[in-house]
Amino acid sequence: MTEISTLGEFGLIDRLTEGLAPFNASTLLGVGDDCAVMNYASDAKNRVVATTDMLMEGIHFDLTYTPLKHLGYKAAMVNLSDVYAMNARPRQLLVSIAVGRKCKVEHLDELYAGLRLACERHGVDLVGGDTTSSLTGVAISITCLGEVEEERIVKRSGAHDTDLICVSGNLGAAYLGLQLLEREKRVLSGQKGGTETVAQPDFSGREYLIERILKPEARRDVIDALQKAEILPTAMIDISDGLSSELMHICKKSGVGCRIYEEKIPVDYQTALAAEEFGMNVYTAALNGGEDYELLFTVPLTAHELVTTLPDVKEIGYVTRAELGQKLVTRDGQEFDLKAQGWNPLAEKSEA
Amino acid sequence: MTEISTLGEFGLIDRLTEGLAPFNASTLLGVGDDCAVMNYASDAKNRVVATTDMLMEGIHFDLTYTPLKHLGYKAAMVNLSDVYAMNARPRQLLVSIAVGRKCKVEHLDELYAGLRLACERHGVDLVGGDTTSSLTGVAISITCLGEVEEERIVKRSGAHDTDLICVSGNLGAAYLGLQLLEREKRVLSGQKGGTETVAQPDFSGREYLIERILKPEARRDVIDALQKAEILPTAMIDISDGLSSELMHICKKSGVGCRIYEEKIPVDYQTALAAEEFGMNVYTAALNGGEDYELLFTVPLTAHELVTTLPDVKEIGYVTRAELGQKLVTRDGQEFDLKAQGWNPLAEKSEA
């Protein structure tokens, strides 16, 4: 293992960013000056989008079970997901990382390997950042820039009465994956200082849940499929805090109500099994679990036929007038008000 | 004092960003969606620049003597300074903040008051960010976007043999200000649990030094003056890590050497007095102190007359061929190699 101080800040940056070649014509100047320089399409229709997210050790991730490569990958995905949620295409990433004394050069190599893999898969250029130290935990802050034609921008505010509510993939898997990891952590920490035969965690049959929490994938494929099918959503948001919370954002911003059906909420078989094991209602996990990084969007009622042709997209309900409220209809036909019980990092320490 | 949990994440964001009205035509959509949306000039000459910086409690600032309003202001300035150093104009700011349990809503109000003041003074729009929690100290990550015409971009790499080396303002003041604050902190902590008459720090006559470390100002005025005088620097960088370190960046990127004169390095009278008090060579502070946020730039020799008309700009030496090295000529005529002893947050805990 190599001490960071042997390379110095600039030697470290050179090492971490070595051989980065731009994927995008808009990237004129990357790492190595006071700013990155971009040349976006000089087209009156072209718009630039920007989003930023910060991940803090102990709040957003636990290094006892999070490989650094996955952490780098996920930190990028969280931001890419926000860009896709505007129906935009990610182009550039700026990465700031603060690490403690225990962190060696090889740890940062791992983290950057994950960041680079995410950038490669999504055709994004790593153009800048800041690498500094932390007295305590690891902090990662990423900013993503993207492009979109003005008429293709999809905000949270465009949903209309009678629109269909759609969601990609399935929900609740990341939340159950986190529960599995936390349980294993408790078991293993109980064995500390114990005998020589320390049990290794056995996640066989649950790999999908573990992958959903540790290595989520931003849904570019859904944005591609929507474009190919010539469907322009009226409103869109990515699901980071849980379906309920995100749907309520769309309703608030659009001035509408909604009605969704529990039985239509997509849930994976592994998620359902794990929920049963934890004695938990799987729909609670799907509605409030968070960290799914799926896309939630609304389309005009007339797009129903087209939506059914989209792979991995489900209709879960429809938009109503605001005065009808934000409703969940359960399997047994009862109606409940949706509640935002999503992950709130600023409230008391959450389970998630 | 109000607990953050009483507002929730979204109530908090609403409060902190209330009444923000855009200064720039390029800001189409600010806080409140998955991304901010910008409409930069649809002009083939227009370029977008981006920079990001992260400030960590205990590393970059000490809350025992840093008012939160100043911290917000400084966090913005650090980024604006990078944009000006490209000869660009800042337009949008994205702000991520992580705070611990002890932090109340009113603390964030203060921090945002500083951010807003910085944005107002520099005509920049606060368009997005992330507010989350930290198990330990405060972390602030800011990204700044700006615009510049392609032919006006100034990189670190354009310096040529015989160019003049210029610096704005004066150097070393922030470093001495930090020494004063650290000394007072030691004195005051020594009095903990002591008598009732705890001495208040007396910085009279040193206010300028304290202001330089706590509330630096990005040099838009210098960029304005250069433009008015029709001087386009060949290379430019902002001085965050110390004159030596930054000059060496320009030399490395431009493939040149340099020769600067100790006696020409601008130093304020208060800086010189404080350096004497601390038994320190004032030029060591000026060369290696860092956090000045002044601009260091090179201009063609033919611009000499024009440069003398610029307020608050001094010529400190000239660019040489690479093989002549990077030299400092002291007052007594001795020549030394410049060394980058600047502030390195990744090395052993620095004094600065």
Tell me if A133 is assigned to some domain.
Answer: yes
Q: What is the mean pLDDT of chain A?
A: 91
State how far the Cα of B321 lies from the Cα of A186, in Å rounded to an integer. 63
pLDDT above 90 (res B305):
yes
State how far the Cα of A39 lies from the Cα of A29, in Å rounded to an integer. 9
Q: Say which residue the tokens 């994440």 belong to.
A: B9
Element (H, E) at B127: strand B125-133
DSSP for B72-97, written as a single string: HHHHHHHHHHHHHTTT-EEEEEEEEE
Claim to verify: residue B216 and residue B70 sit in the same structural domain: no
Domain harbouring A21, CATH code: 3.30.1330.10
B27-61 b/e with 16+ CB inside 10 Å = b? bbbbbbbbbbbbbbeeeeebbbbbbbbbbbbebbb
Tell me if A345 is assigned to some domain.
Answer: no
Say if the Cβ atoms of B143 and A50 lie within 8 Å.
yes
Predicted confidence at residue A30, as pLDDT, reads 86
- What percent of chain B shows pLDDT beyond 90? 74
Predicted confidence at residue A5, as pLDDT, reads 84
pLDDT, one tens digit per residue, over A42-66 is 778 899 999 999 999 999 999 999 9
State how far the Cα of A204 lies from the Cα of A208, in Å rounded to an integer. 9
Element (H, E) at B27: strand B27-29
What mean pLDDT comes out for the span B273-300?
95
pLDDT above 70 (res A196):
no
B121: number of Cβ within 10 Å: 15
Predicted confidence at residue A151, as pLDDT, reads 94
pLDDT above 80 (res B40):
yes
Q: Does B254 touch chain A (CB under 8 A)?
A: no
CA distance A204 to chain B (A): 32
Element (H, E) at A260: strand A256-261
What mean pLDDT comes out for the span A175-185?
94
Tell me if A347 is assigned to some domain.
Answer: no
Contacts 24+ apart (CB under 8 A), B192-197: none
Claim to verify: residue B314 and residue B174 sit in the same structural domain: yes
Domain harbouring B267, CATH code: 3.90.650.10
- Strand order, beta sheet including B36-38: A125-133, A89-99, A139-149, A46-56, B36-38, B27-29
pLDDT above 70 (res B84):
yes
Claim to verify: residue B120 and residue B216 sit in the same structural domain: no
Tell me if A344 is assigned to some domain.
Answer: no
Least confident of A26-30, A189-193, B334-338: A189-193
- Quick one: CA torsion of A119, A124, A130, A135, rounded to 10 degrees? -40
Q: Which of B38, B134, B157 sits opposite A56 (nearest CB)?
A: B134
Predicted confidence at residue A73, as pLDDT, reads 97
Claim to verify: residue A23 and residue A171 sit in the same structural domain: no
Say if the Cβ atoms of B59 and A238 lie within 8 Å.
no
End-to-end Cα, chain B, rounded Å: 33
Taking a C-beta distance cutoff of 8 angstroms, is the pair A80, A221 a contact?
Answer: no
Predicted confidence at residue B339, as pLDDT, reads 86
Claim to verify: residue A37 and residue A131 sit in the same structural domain: yes
In angstroms, the Cα distances linking A229 to A149, A294, A310, B288 are 17, 19, 8, 59
Instruction: Please choose, from the candidates B99, B121, B127, the residue with its C-alpha nearest in 3D space to the C-alpha of residue B26.
Output: B127
pLDDT, one tens digit per residue, over A73-111 is 999 999 999 999 999 999 999 999 999 888 899 999 999
Predicted confidence at residue B44, as pLDDT, reads 80
Instruction: Please choose, from the candidates A98, A97, A128, A144, the residue with its C-alpha nearest in 3D space to the C-alpha of residue A34.
Output: A128
Predicted confidence at residue A123, as pLDDT, reads 95
Q: Does A157 touch chain B (CB under 8 A)?
A: yes
Predicted confidence at residue B70, as pLDDT, reads 96
Q: Which of B5, B35, B59 sits opposite A348 (nearest CB)?
A: B5
Tell me if B135 is assigned to some domain.
Answer: yes
Q: pLDDT class for B205, splitting at 50, 70, 90?
A: confident
What mean pLDDT comes out for the span A316-338?
96
The DSSP call for residue A34 is: S
Claim to verify: residue A129 and residue A81 sit in the same structural domain: yes
pLDDT above 80 (res A308):
yes
Q: pLDDT class for A351, splitting at 50, 70, 90?
A: very low
Instruction: Please choose, from the candidates A264, A54, A248, the residue with its C-alpha nearest in 3D space to the C-alpha of residue A156.
Output: A248
Predicted confidence at residue B342, as pLDDT, reads 55
pLDDT above 90 (res B21):
no
Predicted confidence at residue A43, as pLDDT, reads 79
Tell me if A157 is assigned to some domain.
Answer: no
State how far the Cα of A232 lies from the Cα of B252, in Å rounded to an integer. 49
| Domain, as residue range, for A265 | 164-191+204-337
Tell me if A315 is assigned to some domain.
Answer: yes
Bigger pLDDT: B108 vs A341: B108
Claim to verify: residue B82 and residue B132 sit in the same structural domain: yes
Predicted confidence at residue B318, as pLDDT, reads 98
A1: number of Cβ within 10 Å: 8
Predicted confidence at residue A193, as pLDDT, reads 53
Claim to verify: residue B136 and residue B255 sit in the same structural domain: no
Claim to verify: residue B255 and residue B330 sit in the same structural domain: yes
In angstroms, the Cα distances linking B144 to A102, B78, B150 are 30, 10, 18
Predicted confidence at residue A25, as pLDDT, reads 86
Claim to verify: residue A138 and residue A33 sit in the same structural domain: yes
pLDDT above 60 (res A348):
no
Q: How many domains does chain B have?
A: 2
Tell me if B199 is assigned to some domain.
Answer: no
Taking a C-beta distance cutoff of 8 angstroms, is the pair B193, B258 a contact?
Answer: no
| Residue of chain B with shortest Cα separation from A237 | B34
pLDDT, one tens digit per residue, over B113-122 is 999 999 999 9
Taking a C-beta distance cutoff of 8 angstroms, is the pair A31, A13 a contact?
Answer: yes
CA distance B307 to chain A (A): 23
Least confident of A149-158, A179-188, A269-278: A179-188
Neighbouring residues of B244: CB distance < 8 A, sequence distance ≥ 6: B287, B288, B328, B338, B339, B340, B341, B342
Instruction: Please choose, from the candidates A15, A48, A54, the residue with its C-alpha nearest in 3D space to the C-alpha of residue A32.
Output: A15
Predicted confidence at residue B350, as pLDDT, reads 36
Question: Which 3 state secondary structure label does DSSP give A146?
Answer: strand
Predicted confidence at residue A85, as pLDDT, reads 97
Predicted confidence at residue B293, as pLDDT, reads 97
Q: What is the mean pLDDT of chain B?
A: 91
Enumerate the β-bridge partners of residue B260.
Answer: B317, B328
Write out residues 35-74 of A within 8 Å (CB-CB) of B: 35-40, 42-44, 46-54, 56-60
pLDDT above 80 (res B341):
no
pLDDT, one tens digit per residue, over B210-232 is 999 999 999 999 999 999 999 99
Q: Does B22 touch chain A (CB under 8 A)?
A: no
Say if the Cβ atoms of B35 and A130 lie within 8 Å.
no
Predicted confidence at residue B43, as pLDDT, reads 79
pLDDT, one tens digit per residue, over B167-197 is 999 999 999 999 999 999 888 887 655 445 5
Least confident of A20-24, A89-93, A291-295, B219-223: A20-24
Q: What are phi and psi of B146, to 5 degrees?
A: -145, 175
Say if the Cβ atoms of A135 and B130 lie within 8 Å.
no
B150: number of Cβ within 10 Å: 13
User: ipTM of the assembly?
Assistant: 0.91
Claim to verify: residue B228 and residue B280 sit in the same structural domain: yes
Claim to verify: residue A271 and residue A170 sit in the same structural domain: yes
Q: Does A13 touch chain B (CB under 8 A)?
A: no
Q: pLDDT class for A191, splitting at 50, 70, 90?
A: low
CA distance B110 to chain A (A): 18
End-to-end Cα, chain A, rounded Å: 33
Tabulate helix, strand, coil % of chain B (nearest 5). Answer: 35, 25, 40
Q: Does A11 touch chain B (CB under 8 A)?
A: no
Write out residues 303-322 of A within 8 Å (CB-CB) of B: none
Q: pLDDT class for A144, splitting at 50, 70, 90?
A: very high
Element (H, E) at A73: helix A68-84
Predicted confidence at residue B296, as pLDDT, reads 98
